Amino acid sequence: MIGCYVTGLLPRSTELIEKTRAYERGRISKKELDESFLEGTEIAVKAQLSTGLNYITDGMLRWQDLLRPFTESLKGVTVGSLTRWFNNNTFYKQPIITDDIEREKDVVGNVTYLDKLPKGLSWKAILPAPYTFVSLSGNHYYKDTAGFMFKFAEIINEEIKSLTEAGFSYIQLSDPALVHEPLTSKSKEDVLSLVKDALEVAVKGTSIKICLQTFFGDFLKILPEALDFPVDHLGIDLYGTNFEKLREYSFEKGVALGLVDSRNSLVEEPDELTEIAKEIIESIYCSNIGEVFICPNCDLDFLPWKRAKEKMKVVSSVTERLREEFS
């Protein structure tokens, strides 16, 4: 099976950007801003449908950063200062952990426009993975990282169950921190073992497809250990990973290939991407081809909306071509 989807926040359209700026300057009301987000969400969903993506998100237009819904709604967390978002000219607000963290209500469900998601199609939700949330937080409470990570993994577990009930059929856990910084060979084993255990907690008792999506770094850093992570799919940023070396590994799990570059406006040639994807798929699967998804390497909100839409078309076009190749 070869499918396609987006892997994070979609950009706000020019109109929506204007509304958010107007709101911040006190020129429009909260109600008008909310209406603009609703309209923006409709457009974001429609764009995914019209380009032929298989799993649809609501675009996550309200999300100020990947962590913010959690930063703002979990008990024991306060919103900290602006911090650089990995190696980008964008910033997130650091979660500051002041007490034992608790989930008192739905987090992602409360910031998602469920009504705008298309009935009868598959929905995808995106959440921060435990390792990334813990790595990017300012921890002033937990004595050890493991305790903090397991606690957050429990919260993710509750979230996944709640989102499943709400009708979602696919969960992406975004884990850029896991591949961005180099893991020293000494700590690598311990870190990856802890990540695996935390993921076990996060997925326990769930009945839904789950992908661990890595980006902003080299996926090879977490191989071969990642092949045993308790998730269905592994997401790989091919702009941070040497794919010739990736081909040396043998996969049984599905993969999400981040083939389209969200951090450059240059629109890729589908032919080139198809050829590379084909080579990777043929190399990493010895006999049976696993579930394969074609996707942007990270959030498309690094691009202006129009360019992001063109990138979605490339994702879809490469997927089509691969389906023909492997049919």
Which of 130, 194, 138, 137 lies closest to 158, judged by CA?
130
Cis-peptide, bond into residue 224, ω within 30° of zero: yes
Binding flag, residue 240, other proteins (CB under 8 A): yes
Among 1, 15, 21, 110, binds other proteins (CB under 8 A): 21
- Residue 165 tokens, joined: 């009930």
Among 1, 242, 248, 324, binds other proteins (CB under 8 A): 242
Residues 23-62 that bind other proteins (CB under 8 A): 23-24
User: Where would I find the beta strands (DSSP E) of the chain?
Assistant: 2-4, 55-56, 75-84, 91-102, 122-128, 138-139, 170-174, 209-213, 233-237, 254-260, 292-296
Among 307, 313, 320, 323, binds other proteins (CB under 8 A): 307
Residues 257-296 that bind other proteins (CB under 8 A): 261, 264-266, 269, 272, 276
Interhelix angle 305-326/30-50, nearest 10 degrees: 30
Q: What sign has the CA pseudo-torsion 84, 67, 307, 275?
A: positive
d(CA 178, CA 273): 25
Backbone angles phi, psi at 261, to 5 degrees: -85, 110
Backbone angles phi, psi at 174, to 5 degrees: -85, 125
Smallest distance from other proteins to CB 223, Å? 16
Query: What phi-psi label fits residue 278: left (phi over 0), alpha (psi between -120 and 50 degrees) or beta?
Result: alpha
Number of residues that bind other proteins (CB under 8 A): 41
Instruction: Map tokens 């709604």 to a residue.
Output: 73
Given the complex with other proteins, which of 204 and 306 has the nearer CB atom? 306
Given the complex with other proteins, which of 150 and 243 has the nearer CB atom? 243
Residues 59-98 that bind other proteins (CB under 8 A): 64-65, 82, 84, 87-93
Given the complex with other proteins, which of 161 and 263 has the nearer CB atom? 263
Residues in CB range of 149: below 8 A, 6 or more apart: 130, 131, 134, 194, 198
Given the complex with other proteins, which of 82 and 114 has the nearer CB atom? 82
Residues 169-228 that bind other proteins (CB under 8 A): 218
Given the complex with other proteins, which of 23 and 249 has the nearer CB atom? 23
Query: Interface residues with other proteins (CB under 8 A)?
Result: 11-12, 14, 17, 20-21, 23-24, 64-65, 82, 84, 87-93, 218, 238-244, 261, 264-266, 269, 272, 276, 301-307
